[in-house]
Amino acid sequence: MRESSAIVAEVLRLVGASIQPGVTTAMLDRMGEEFIRSRGGDPVFKGYGYEADNLFPASLCISVDNEVVHGIPGMRILKDGDIVSIDVGVKKNGYVGDGAWTFAVGRISPEKERLMRITRESLVKGVEAAIEGNKVGDIGNAVQTYVEEAGYSVVRELCGHGVGKELHEEPNVPNYGRRNSGLKLQEGMTIAIEPMVNLGTHKVRTARDGWTILTYDGAPSAHFEHTVVVRKGKAEILTK
């Protein structure tokens, strides 16, 4: 998992450095896939899904502005003022790493800058709660409290998850919840913590493509994710 997660982090750095006005999301996806394969990994998102006639067609999930997650790369051209979430999953030697980061395209509004900052900081709060002896609800509560105190909302329909030999494993790791509730965290558990934070309502809807999740009110959304190992005292971030 260290190897696959390191590739995830490298892809996010590489693709993030290439984000600028005029770039298409398909170009970023191609760049990410080529790098993953050059490192001996497989893009775990490609071909993922439960409906045989609508498997995910790309290597990266690329979601722009009001797209929360699971955006399908294509000929969309990024423009100045957009924010774009890059979600990467890599499988190498039978184990998965999963991570995401939201980037600014050119110069963005102070409103979007603050949304990104609060979302990123809420991920830090969630990771800080991922220690042995705490419970899953402590992670969600830490994220939710920080986000809502800042005036934003956390998406309820989607959540973080266990990760290991498969992309999505037990337990679910919601970005909301009550302290001291849910599964007890144990040393060595590997989980993906991924706050999805909306500027407006927490409600979302699914686009016609069956994949892209959109904010219900059209407001921007940000998304940050780390794969972490539960430890005593302080979680270990694998996708740093």
pLDDT, one tens digit per residue, over 118-173 is 999 999 999 999 999 999 999 999 999 999 999 999 999 999 999 999 999 999 99
Q: Give the pLDDT band (50/70/90) at residue 177.
A: very high
pLDDT interval class at 49 (50, 70, 90): very high
Instruction: Quote the CA–CA distance of 59 and 32 in Å, as a whole number.
Output: 7
pLDDT of residue 157: 96
How many domains are there within the chain?
A: 1
**pLDDT score of 232:** 97
Q: Which pair of structure tokens corresponds to residue 205?
A: 């809807």
Count of residues in the chain:
240
pLDDT score for 106? 97
Kind plus residue range of the DSSP H or E element containing 85: strand 83-92
Buried b (16+ CB within 10 A) or exposed e, 195-222: bbbbbeebebeeeeeebbbbbeeebbbb
Residue 211: predicted pLDDT: 98
Count of Cβ atoms closer than 10 Å to residue 66 Cβ: 20
Domain that holds residue 55: 2-237
Residue 96 has a pLDDT of 98
Taking residues 187-202, what's their average pLDDT?
Answer: 98
CB 113 within 8 A of CB 95: no
- The string of pLDDT tens digits covering residues 209-219 is 999 999 999 99
Alpha carbon distances (Å) from 139 to 17, 172, 184, 187 = 30, 11, 11, 15
**Residues 161, 192 contacting (CB under 8 angstroms):** yes
3-state helix, strand, coil in the chain (%, to 5): 25, 30, 45
How far CA 154 is from CA of 103, 136, 230, in Å, comes to 19, 16, 23
Strand partners, 227: 192
Q: What is the CATH number of the domain that holds 95?
A: 3.90.230.10
Nearest to 5 by CA among 186, 116, 163: 163
Q: Which residue type, as a one-letter code, is found at position 47?
A: G
Mean pLDDT of 179-189: 97
Say if CB 7 and CB 60 are below 8 A apart.
no
Looking at residue 88, the DSSP 8-state letter turns out to be E
Q: pLDDT digit string (tens) for 65-112?
A: 999 999 999 999 999 999 999 999 999 999 999 999 999 999 999 999
Q: What is the mean pLDDT of the segment spanning 37-49?
A: 98
pLDDT tens profile 6-39: 999 999 999 999 999 999 999 999 999 999 999 9
Handedness of CA 223, 225, 230, 232 (dihedral sign): negative
What is the gyration radius of the CA atoms in the chain, in angstroms? Answer: 17
Mean pLDDT (whole number) for 235-239: 98
Neighbours of 97 (CB within 10 A): 29
